[in-house]
Amino acid sequence: MKSNNKGQIRIIEAFLAVLIIFSSFAVSANFTITRNATRRDDLASVGSQALLKLDSDGSLGKFIDDGNWTALRDALNILLPVGVCFNLTVYDDQMQQINTAVISNGGFSSQQIHFTEYICASQGTVFRCYIIHMHLAVAT
């Protein structure tokens, strides 16, 4: 009886071993899914960080004060990672659009468009506050 069951036990043991290894893969896959979910907000965060960096020395407010939209677009082109498209709209504190030119580095071809809002107080002698709406997408 014992020797008869030996083959079946071997199969069960092998099955258990395979099960253990596959369960570890299942756990790993779960972690990957969780990580992908958190990645959705990354692009908006990248946009916020770029605007914050540009604002750290007062350049952002100065570009807007001067209406230098080309310089603003070029600066963001440098600060944002390659392959990220953006479109910026600048409003005053009464939510009136003030940018007279399109501040963008190309058309949006991606399905997923991310949005970030940034408030910028300028360092100029006369206090002005701007509200910046930035749309971002990964170029495909």
Partner 1 sequence: MKKYKTKFKANSSGQLLIIAALAIAILISSTTIYVYELSKETNNACASSISSFVLALKQNTKNTMISSLANVSNGGERTVLATNLNRLSQIFRSINHLEICNLAFTPLNDSNYVEGIWLSWNISDMGVSSVYTNFTLKVYSIADKVTLNYAINITTAITLNGYYTKLDGNEKLVNLTCKVYNEEAPALAKNITLFYESFGRWVPLNSSNNFSIIDYGNSTYHISFNATTTSNTVQVSAHICDLRNVFVQANTTCYKA
Binding-site ranges for partner 1 (CB under 8 A): 9-10, 13-14, 16-18, 20-21, 23-25, 27-28, 31-32, 34-35, 38-39, 41-42, 45-46, 48-49, 51-52, 55-56, 58, 61, 93, 117-127, 129, 131
Interatomic CA distance for residues 92 and 99, integer angstroms:
10
Residue 103 Cβ, how far from partner 1 at the closest point, in Å? 19
Burial profile 124-133: b = 16 or more Cβ within 10 angstroms, e = fewer = eeeeeebbbe
Interatomic CA distance for residues 24 and 8, integer angstroms:
25
Query: Among residues 106 and 124, whose Cβ is nearest to partner 1?
Result: 124
Query: Among residues 71 and 101, whose Cβ is nearest to partner 1?
Result: 71
